[in-house]
Structure 1
């Protein structure tokens, strides 16, 4: 299970991880989850210089805060939206 770091809410199952590589990532690495499953972790930087790591999922229990937008996506062909934990509202 993937849990919210702030409150422990169950956000997704490990089986919901979906590898979506991006040519816009600053770097990419494969980590191993408990049980031996590999997960692609990518590093990105927003226009304000804030760096963050991303793992992509097929589905997750998150709160989306506005309709998805294809502009400014780090994943060409995909849209994005701000997502928070549905229990504690921590930005994910």
Structure 2
């Protein structure tokens, strides 16, 4: 939709040119050209106008927390084997 609105003056000029050539009247083309010029002047501009003052960045306090690794690490093989041997030796714990 925006594209059509932006191309509207060119479409009006092209239609006026074709109609002016077909009817052999120059005033039709000139009227279409004037209409497109008036449309361009009346159409609002969305470009930024003026300057905007930049705001100051707030002062941040320095963080005192340390980085800690919370990812689980794989258990070494000898520790895992020792746990398995202890579980086999002690048996399963049954809860009543």
TM-score w.r.t. the length of structure 2 is: 0.19
Higher relative contact order (CA 8 A, sep 6+): 1
Q: Which structure's residues are more often strand, by fraction?
A: 1
TM-score w.r.t. the length of structure 1 is: 0.19
